[in-house]
Amino acid sequence: MLDAVTSLPSTPVRRVVIAGGGTAGWMAAAALSKVLGKALQITLVESEEIGTVGVGEATIPSLATFHRLLEIDEREFLSATQGTIKLGISFENWRTEQHRYIHSFGTTGQDHWTAGFQHFWLKGRERGLAGSYDDYCIELQAALHDRFAHLQGYRMNYAYHLDASYYARYLRQLSERHGCRRIEGKIAQVHTDAATGFITGLQLERGELIEGDLFIDCTGFRALLIGQTLGVGFEDWSHWLLNDRAFATQTTAVRDAVPYTRAIAEPWGWQWRIPLQHRVGNGVVYSSKYVSDEEAKARFLATAEGEIIKAPFPISFRPGRRMECWNRNCVALGLAGSFIEPLESTTIHLIQRGITRLMQSFPAVITRVGIDQYNTQLADELQHVRDFVVLHYAATERRDSPYWEYVANMTLPATLQHRIDLFRQTGTVFHAPQELFAENSWIQVMMGQGIVPRHRHPAPDLMGDAELSAFLGSIAKRVRETAAQLPPHMDYLRRYSPAQ
Ligand code: FAD
């Protein structure tokens, strides 16, 4: 029956069907079954024959919030996923070849009531009173010296590296404990209602029909429901994000895991190294327009360390987003909804945001305004993340290949151009509440990529040299002393959460 106001079916949403059992599917199942499991009937369908994308092992600190919601014990989680701590990303060869900087979590320095810390640091540099910008951030110093611990009196801001297949298995256990029903099988057909276009059921190859009121498309790049069935269009961002292919593999560890991800730029893309307790996740991301598959793979194999555990497997993708991640009675999460390349490890976070928003606005019945609200918020978040990732390419000094030549000269999204101009001219950044990356991230990456502000806030001029020197010096000393208390990352982790 159609609702007289919305002209949408007025069926109460009771049966939720999740299509796909990768990270997106199991994160959705775990959260929905924990929070709304008593009110809803939740079913997840996954195909072992198709499998998952097999990558996605670096996260950002917001995952801890998701884990709090699920009441996940950190020690148990780290053991179950062979996880390690991530304090940031080491960007190597991005600004120029041989240059390195770290984008760390946490904050740098201490804001004064008048202006951001960077203005005081800039004045300190002018006066020869300041060290490197890196000297004022505990997380960055801990990463640089391969150290970590949970400290009394200071909570380090950190994320995790995790084994994606173990994580899905772990979330599956949690979901099933909270009543989620799992069905193994390949979806052969998606049934829709002829009048409304709403999805009514998923027909498996073996004939079984799984009916539902709300469908969550977690079928990865296939986008079986939102794309192939409902025909929701895709906004392509490949003119800003050139990479469209990857090879991924797993190798044995040749040294203790460091508490950061490595992103190593190449003349046509970049390589990642994600250190876990039991192995290393590696890969190369590249643009098929600028390098052949053979050359990218050869370069990757020539530089990979350790024994190969899993042969390199190819992945093709298209950067961009669905025009609507919620359409009719289908919500797309994960790769089915959008993909901004993995440079800043943002996809798992965006899955989490999609799930949280869905739970907060969970529909009694599906409404147009509810759908619009969800899509508008998600579009804003995606645009912000896209801009941040594009920044790493746009602000390079590299000109050594056609690839870097292109990205250094491309026309940027107006929103990003504005941020760069503002920082370059005034030393200021802004951060809206819903935006993922805060001032510290923007400043670290802009400075790391070589953007130097031409002007700064006048507030530091109110301080004399002695006062400014004492202000900067006391922060650097606190950072140094805190970092010095920390044990080596893996020594700590072996004691804190021994691998299973
Ligand atoms: P998938 O893992 O592909 O899962 C799809 C599921 O749908 C599978 O269970 C499959 O069996 C099922 N399915 C599909 N079709 C059918 C069918 N017909 N019938 C039944 N079941 C079906 N994200 C991060 O946050 N950090 C990272 O470091 C990171 N690195 C990445 C590196 C690369 C190269 C790429 C491509 C992505 C990376 N991502 C990263 C993104 C990350 O991989 C995904 O966010 C995450 O794995 C979620 O994937 P998914 O669950 O959407 O899709």
What lies within 8 Å, CB to CB, of 186 at 6+ separation is 47, 49, 50, 204, 205
Q: Mutation test of ligand 1: which of 17, 23, 286, 317 has the most ligand atoms closer than 8 Å to its C-beta?
A: 23
pLDDT band at 113 (very low <50, low <70, confident <90, very high): confident
pLDDT of 358 reads 95
Q: Choose which CATH entry (3.40.47.10, 3.40.190.10, 3.40.50.300, 3.50.50.60) describes domain 15-57+163-238+319-366.
A: 3.50.50.60
pLDDT tier, 112 (very low <50, low <70, confident <90, very high otherwise): confident
Please say if the pLDDT value at position 434 is more than 90. Answer: no
Structure tokens at 80: 């179950």
**Side chain identity at residue 48, one-letter code:** E
Q: How many angstroms does the Cα of residue 221 sit away from the middle of ligand 1? A: 7
Residue nearest to atom 40 of ligand 1 (CA): 56
The size of the chain, in residues, is 500
Give yes or no for residue 51 CB within 6 A of ligand 1.
yes
Q: Above 60 in pLDDT, residue 500?
A: no
Please say if the pLDDT value at position 375 is more than 90: yes
Distance of CA 54 from the midpoint of ligand 1 (Å):
7
**pLDDT number for residue 10:** 80
Average pLDDT of the chain is: 95
pLDDT in tens, 443-498: 999 999 999 999 999 999 999 999 999 999 999 999 999 999 999 999 999 999 87
Q: Which CATH number fits domain 245-316: 3.30.70, 3.30.2010, 3.30.1480, 3.30.200?
A: 3.30.70
Confidence of residue 141 (pLDDT cuts 50, 70, 90): very high
Q: Is the CB of 249 under 6 A from ligand 1?
A: no
pLDDT number for residue 363: 87
Task: Write the pLDDT tens digit of every residue in 255-308.
Answer: 999 999 999 999 999 999 999 999 999 999 999 999 999 999 999 999 999 999
Q: Which residue has the tokens 């993909």?
A: 339
pLDDT in tens, 181-202: 999 999 999 999 999 999 999 9
Closest CA to 358 of 63, 5, 58, 13: 13
Determine the residue of 219, 244, 271 to mutate for testing ligand 1's pocket, defined as the one with the most ligand atoms within 8 A of the Cβ atom: 219
How far apart, in whole angstroms, are the C-alpha atoms of residue 347 and residue 33?
22
Confidence of residue 7 (pLDDT cuts 50, 70, 90): low
pLDDT at 267: 98
pLDDT at 433 over 90: no
**Domain-wise residue ranges, the chain:** 15-57+163-238+319-366, 245-316
Residue 443 near residue 103, CB atoms below 8 Å: no
Give me the active site residues, please: 86
Instruction: Return the minimum-mean-pLDDT range out of 49-58, 288-297, 335-344, 432-441.
Output: 432-441
CB 317, CB 285: distance < 8 Å: no
* pLDDT, tens digit, 9 for 90 and up, residues 353-364: 999 999 998 988
Judge if 15-57+163-238+319-366 and 245-316 fold alike in CATH terms: no
Whether the pLDDT of residue 111 is over 80: the answer is no
Q: What is the pLDDT of residue 6?
A: 63
Answer yes or no: is pLDDT of 245 > 60.
yes
Taking the CA of residue 51 as reference, the ligand 1 atom at the shortest distance is 11
pLDDT digits (tens, 9 = 90+) for 398-412: 999 999 999 999 999
- Give the count of beta carbons closer than 10 Å to the beta carbon of residue 350: 24
